[in-house]
């Protein structure tokens, strides 16, 4: 039920010649998705030898008062760690995701200047991705429970979007796209490192992308065109009628 019944076709194939070169809104990919900790974990690093840079000791602890303002420790050269910086430790999982933004303006002349100044991070090729989380199953008991999935299909949550099981011939991607877990992913390492980012030759259809982007706009409280707002409102009214009782 829900949104999956409104569209005859939920997914579309992307051209084999371009899907790895020209990324589009609604395109699927795989990314290294990070877990959001309420209080981040810090890798506290100290030199084992005060005269060297190689041997280190470390502790893992929660971020606390006093972090980002060290004044006495010697900087760790090989970690490029400054006095006002900390190493954050996060759990990560390879997940499918949906690209929502893939347009970055890159100037070659500026790239050369930034490279010479060792500031390449100020201009990078990146995409904005919404990661997809699994439903509750026997193999994945920590996923979204069926009572919640039914409401997500009916578009009851601004921050969640349901992706159904694709038909045969498509990459197996099913789950809940979490708009509240949007990530910026650097793509400059692709295709040499597909663990960081790997595009897929499948995407949402234009009609479904319209709903997906509309929900993102609504969740971020970004004003939109009146016809787009009315379209999403109409879709929500229709799928709300399919909501089953608890």
Give me the residue label for tokens 């303006």. Answer: 105
pLDDT at position 74, please? 64
Beta bridge partners of 161: 177
In a 13 Å sphere around the CA of 206, the CA atoms on its Cβ side amount to 0
* Separation CA 240–CA 243 (nearest Å): 5
The strands making up 87-89's β-sheet, listed across from edge to edge, are 56-62, 41-47, 87-89
pLDDT at position 140, please? 79
pLDDT at position 99, please? 97
Closest CA to 204 of 152, 147, 164, 153: 164
* Separation CA 173–CA 132 (nearest Å): 8
H/E element, 177: strand 175-178
pLDDT at position 172, please? 78
* Separation CA 49–CA 210 (nearest Å): 58
Q: pTM of the entire structure?
A: 0.89
pLDDT at position 44, please? 87
Contact 44, 67 (CB under 8 A): no
pLDDT at position 190, please? 92
Residues (pLDDT < 50) of the chain are none
Closest CA to 29 of 160, 162, 187: 187
- Quick one: what percent of the chain has pLDDT higher than 90? 62
């Amino acid at each position: 039920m829900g949104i999956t019944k409104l569209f005859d076709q939920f997914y579309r194939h992307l051209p084999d010649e371009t899907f790895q070169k020209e990324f589009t809104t609604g395109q699927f990919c795989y990314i290294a998705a990070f877990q959001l900790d309420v209080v981040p974990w810090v890798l506290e690093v100290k030199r084992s030898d005060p005269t060297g840079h190689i041997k280190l000791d470390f502790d893992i602890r929660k971020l606390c008062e006093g972090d980002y303002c060290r004044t006495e420790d010697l900087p760790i050269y090989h970690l490029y760690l400054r006095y006002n910086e900390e190493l954050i430790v996060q759990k990560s999982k390879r997940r499918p995701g949906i690209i929502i933004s893939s347009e970055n303006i890159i100037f070659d002349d500026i790239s050369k200047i930034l490279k010479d100044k060792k500031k390449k991070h100020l201009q990078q090729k990146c995409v904005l991705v919404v990661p997809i989380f699994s439903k509750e199953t026997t193999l994945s008991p920590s996923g979204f429970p069926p009572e919640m999935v039914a409401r997500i299909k009916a578009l009851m949550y601004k921050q969640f979007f349901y992706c159904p099981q694709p038909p045969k011939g498509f990459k197996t991607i099913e789950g809940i796209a979490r708009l509240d877990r949007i990530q910026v992913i650097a793509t400059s390492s692709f295709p040499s490192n597909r663990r960081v980012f790997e595009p897929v030759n499948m995407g949402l259809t234009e009609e479904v992308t319209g709903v997906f982007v509309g929900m993102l706009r609504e969740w971020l409280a970004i004003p939109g065109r009146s016809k787009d707002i009315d379209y999403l409102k109409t879709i929500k009214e229709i799928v709300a009628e399919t909501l089953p009782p608890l």
